[in-house]
Structure 1
Amino acid sequence: LLNLFAIAANLFGRMDMAKILSVTGVIALIQLIGLAVFMQIMLDGFELQMKISSCKKGIFSRINPVKSKAKVKKLLAFLCLIIWVMVLFINLSVFGGVWDWVAIVLSKPRTFGSINFTLGNIVFFIAIVYGAAKLQKSVPLLFGEEKITFDESSGHKSSKVALVRLVIIIIGVLLAVSASGLPMDKLTVVLGAFGVGIGLGMQNIVNNFVSGIILIFEKPFRIGDYVELADKKGKVRDIGIRSSKLLTPQGSEVIIPNGDLLSGRLVNWTLSNDYIKTELLFKVSADVDLKELEKLIGDVIEQMDSAIKKLPPEVLLNSIAADVMEIKVLAWISSIYVEADFKSVFLQQMLIKMRDAGLKIM
């Protein structure tokens, strides 16, 4: 395109301009190819580093390699574009003029009512807030937090991540306000307007934010705990400032406002320890000897790895019908995550043992 402009300038007798445009076009093309090669080399190096770090269980083992590579590619493309445009303007001898014009636009004092500001201050304000928001999302990676999955192997995590996120957000807001150049007397006006907004329609947002701060310091649950709130139950995957995430046994993620977690009736199954007492019901014939059945149940539970051996099971007669007895078994197991598997294995073993012993199950 620049060469076409150079030909047009040559036709109109503008030889110097034609020469500048022609040379700039060739340099721009060479630079474009060089930046493309540079970006590909950096991407290959980043991908290699991710594989090495994943093998050593480093920081890149805790992130999605596909998404990370895509984000790095966008970042490199953006930086290469800026470099290419800057060199293009320099070769066209217009970089100084453009730079001065941008500086004048950003630094020119402007007035909105009684508030004085500049576009540069607004740019700094947005950049700091955006950077703080991105940084607080990356805190789990910096602290070595692994991705929470719905199995017993995912341990408990402390709430230090949420606390650091809160500190980053507060520091980011303070730095952004300082960079905006807004005087403190004007800031009180803004806070007053903000208070009116809270009174009109932001109660829930502020309530969830304050509740998040209380959850961080009170610690009714940790990341990795199994909790139950009303009809929602699952493993705590993340504790945020406004809301928290639960990973359900079905694999879905439930986002719950912190206000509901603080004000609702929350059941934490794994706060002090992971032991739980599970309940099993089955029916047998009324002719079955209860002593023999109790011994059989004890033998089956004793052989199961997930059962707590030092806490013996309770075998209770729950109800009696004409020729049927309902038996309730209360047994302590190691974790709520093995409850479904424990019940399945127990009933299978009981079915086999009772058939071998000639006991009739109803």
Structure 2
Amino acid sequence: MQRLFVLCLVLLALAAPAALAQQNETAQPAPSAEVSFPGVAEIVPRLAQLGESVLQADSRIASLQENAGFEGQIAAAQEKQQELKKKITEYGEMSTWSSDRLLEVRGRLLEHRATLRKLLDTLSSRLAELEALRKDWSSRKEFWEGWHEALKGSSMQPPKDSFRQARGMIEEILASTAKTSTPFVTLQQEVTTLQTGSAEILNQLETTLSSQRKELFKKTARSLASPDYYRQFNAELFEQVTQGISSAQGRGVEFLQEQGWILGLQLLLAAGLGVFIIRHGQRAQVTQEWQFILRHPFATGVFVAISSLSFLYTTPPGLWRLLLWSLAAFPAAVLISGLLRNPRKIFMVNLLAALLILSLALQIISLPQPLYRLYLAMLSLLGIPLLLILAGGDRRAKQGRSDGFTMTLRGGAAILAVSFVSQAAGYTNLASRLIEASVQTVFLGLFAAMAIRLGLGGIEFFWRQDFIKAIPFLHRFGHELEKRLKGVLKILVIGYALLQTLAVWGFYDTAAQAWSNLLEMGFSVGENNFSIQMVLLAAIALYLSLVVSKLLSAVLESEFIPRTGMDRGIGDSIRKLLHYVLVTIGFLIAIGIMGMELKNFAVLAGAFGIGIGFGLQNIVNNFVSGLILLFERPVKVGDTVVLGTDWGTVQKIGLRSTIVETFDRSEIIVPNSQLISDKVTNWTLTSTMARAIVPVGVAYGTDLDRVMEILKEAAAQHPEVLKDPEPAAIFMGFGESSLDFELRVWLADVGRRLGVRSDLGRYIEKRFREAGIEIPFPQRDLHLRSVEQGILERQGPPLPREAAGAADHQAQPGA
């Protein structure tokens, strides 16, 4: 024992210094971690792996070295930019360009800049990949050098050839990477130079467009009464006309090669729609207001094809834009004329279509300003009396009444008068903007109205098809879907028309720019900044959550629940819960889009909780009770319940209340909390089977066995009385005036309870009459305690005892 004790002391003495040393080491800061290198045995395997990596890196570098395609793209971009610069030089001073030419060149430059940006991004990605390779192999080089030095300091002698071979392979990859990166850097610089040049031209265009907008109410030319104006009509002016016509003819073949497929798609759609209207239009049930489509099938097809697919074009040249506008304006004029009965309206629609195309053609060829001013002035001088004559004729045709068309004609005459005065005074921008924008605005309105009309007609035609009606879901909810589609169509068409109107009047260059600037507008609430885009996206998220919720609920109700045989109450609970979940998800998405966090609602939630505690207890109680009803389902949709003395069927379980329809077709709105806390009789909670009781009384002295037989016979003959449980005829006891019985039967459907009781009662009464069984009525004895003497004298002499007994026996209640 002593030896064991001494041994323990020795061990403690030896362990104490080690523990103290360890404690001191942990108290000091830990030294930096050093890289641990493998031993000599790993050199050959790792060298083999390095060789495989070298082969892979060489293959990747070789694929990245293919820059011939980039050189061709850069050469094409340089050629295109030189061509643009040449065209800009040929067009002359930018300040003399028309707005149409400015926007066309601006669109081509934006397209060119997008191509350069895409090319630069591709070059940058390749350079980034080469840089990643360089860093990877530089780290490998450091590893092998450090490994070599680590082995030198040890007793093991490393093989020199292996490390020399590894260093050579790594340096070869690094050299190849550097060599490959150099031409890409050069190409990147060339693209950047092109971007700089195009940006300078684009800035000049933007400045010119901005100055044109600012100079709308500024005098920019000589007045028409000035002799200097007429001195501009010389041979040079007409050479500019010829040059403008020739310049407008460029890019036709190039554009057709790049975007000709869109034109082919439009032609295919126009022809297909026209043929479809011819073949199926006569068989369709088309009302009188849609007969204009049947009379002009190909005009309808062309209008729909141009209106729906022209957005696919990117910067079409002048002649193509003129062609597209012609294919849209003239078919629209034909279709609109088919709807009108007033010859003056028909004349104005066709005249406006011609003026729109003519004005656009003059802008495309960039008609010199003196000639274009003369055209607008002549147009004003001829248009003012024409519009006034048409307005007077329309007013006389309507017996002196002025309608919207008459006022529009007079307004057009006023616009032409202002334009002529402005043109004569030298305010050319204002004069041309008034006429051009007015004509385009009228046609935009006509385009929008025709697009909405054709779209609504197409939606109605689609939903009237037999294959749509054959689908139960669409047959049941098709009207609601049709209504929503029509609403979305109207919003899209009217919204686009309004944005295009802003561009027409010069507030923005394009409808896309107007839309972009509109989305960027915003407001601030406290520290939070909100934009129109955020609000719009949040509203769309909420709307889509509601639409998807209703759609899925409708699908479950019409398709899934009936096919699976699911209980109606369970299906209703699933639909309600799905609706709450989807709406909650939509709300959370909307909050996220708005950039708001849920923790920001903590104070609001606290205040809301206090408000609930004081004033909204019943509402929250009913809401929670509604959730309990959905999950626990003591009462579900379709159940037959008794509330007090009212019988009814549960029709709907809402967030706050439940609607019960009585058998009288009245509706009772019951708070959900009442269904949870109060006593409610539910006849169909677990089963629809119920018992019906028919009470019967017979006279004393009747054969009881015969009565029991008739009651059982009545139960056996009725088809809706269940055999199991077995019907029961029970003698209840001796009543005051009758022997009381009850016929108790079981029914599969509680809803047939009253009807079956009526049938059984009628049958029992009939059989009792046939069997001579009397159903007694209550008998009462009447005793007169005090009667006035005059009444007895008027009654005559007293009746004999027998007669009095008979009269007393026949006395009835109330006699």
* TM-score for the superposition, normalised by structure 1: 0.82
**One-letter identity of the residue aligned with 2:502:** F
In structure 1, what is the equivalent of residue 75 of structure 2? Answer: none
Kept in 2: contact 1:132–1:169 (CA 8 A): yes
Kept in 2: contact 1:6–1:22 (CA 8 A): no
C-alpha deviations, 1:165-187, integer Å up to 9, x for none?
22123222322332232234422
Q: Distance in 1 between matches of 2:606 and 2:747?
A: 55
Aligned mate of 1:360, from 754, 758, 774: 774
- The reply to whether residue 143 of structure 1 matches residue 556 of structure 2 is yes
Q: Distance in 2 between matches of 1:248 and 1:256?
A: 12
- The reply to whether residue 244 of structure 1 matches residue 658 of structure 2 is yes
Q: How does 1:168-207 map to 2 (within 5 A)?
A: 168-207=582-621
SS at match of 2:568: coil
Q: Distance in 2 between matches of 1:75 and 1:254?
A: 37
In structure 1, what is the equivalent of residue 497 of structure 2? Answer: 84
In structure 1, what is the equivalent of residue 530 of structure 2? Answer: 118
Aligned mate of 1:324, from 717, 726, 738: 738
Q: Distance in 2 between matches of 1:155 and 1:53?
A: 28
In structure 2, what is the equivalent of residue 102 of structure 1? Answer: 518
C-alpha distance 18-84 of structure 1, shift in aligned 2 (>3 A): same
- The reply to whether residue 7 of structure 1 matches residue 416 of structure 2 is yes
In structure 1, what is the equivalent of residue 445 of structure 2? Answer: 28
Tell me the C-alpha RMSD between the 2 structures: 3.2
**One-letter identity of the residue aligned with 2:642:** E
C-alpha distance 360-273 of structure 1, shift in aligned 2 (>3 A): same
Q: Distance in 1 between matches of 2:599 and 2:568?
A: 46
In structure 2, what is the equivalent of residue 150 of structure 1? Answer: none
Structure with the larger strand share: 1
Deviation of residue 83 (structure 1)? 3.6
Q: Distance in 2 between matches of 1:317 and 1:288?
A: 13
Deviation of residue 275 (structure 1)? 0.8
C-alpha deviations, 1:276-315, integer Å up to 9, x for none?
1122223332233222111111112112122111222232
Deviation of residue 321 (structure 1)? 4.1
SS at match of 1:143: helix
Kept in 1: contact 2:622–2:655 (CA 8 A): yes
Structure number with greater Rg is 2
Deviation of residue 141 (structure 1)? 0.8
In structure 1, what is the equivalent of residue 236 of structure 2? Answer: none
- The reply to whether residue 44 of structure 1 matches residue 461 of structure 2 is yes
In structure 2, what is the equivalent of residue 151 of structure 1? Answer: none
Q: Which runs of 5+ in 1 are unaligned?
A: 147-153
SS at match of 2:686: coil
Deviation of residue 342 (structure 1)? 0.6
Q: Distance in 2 between matches of 1:190 and 1:343?
A: 59
Structure with the larger helix share: 2
Deviation of residue 122 (structure 1)? 4.7
**One-letter identity of the residue aligned with 2:753:** E
Q: Which runs of 5+ in 2 are unaligned?
A: 1-407, 424-430, 560-565, 777-815
Aligned mate of 1:283, from 681, 685, 697: 697
Q: Distance in 2 between matches of 1:64 and 1:247?
A: 27
**One-letter identity of the residue aligned with 1:80:** V
In structure 1, what is the equivalent of residue 781 of structure 2? Answer: none
C-alpha distance 230-165 of structure 1, shift in aligned 2 (>3 A): farther
C-alpha distance 122-79 of structure 1, shift in aligned 2 (>3 A): closer
Deviation of residue 268 (structure 1)? 2.1
Q: Distance in 1 between matches of 2:668 and 2:552?
A: 21
C-alpha distance 127-73 of structure 1, shift in aligned 2 (>3 A): closer
Kept in 2: contact 1:274–1:334 (CA 8 A): yes
Identical-pair percentage? 23
Kept in 1: contact 2:499–2:515 (CA 8 A): no
In structure 2, what is the equivalent of residue 213 of structure 1? Answer: 627
Kept in 2: contact 1:229–1:264 (CA 8 A): no
**One-letter identity of the residue aligned with 1:105:** M
SS at match of 1:315: strand
- The reply to whether residue 156 of structure 1 matches residue 568 of structure 2 is yes
Q: Distance in 2 between matches of 1:55 and 1:340?
A: 38
In structure 2, what is the equivalent of residue 149 of structure 1? Answer: none
Q: How does 1:226-241 map to 2 (within 5 A)?
A: 226-241=640-655
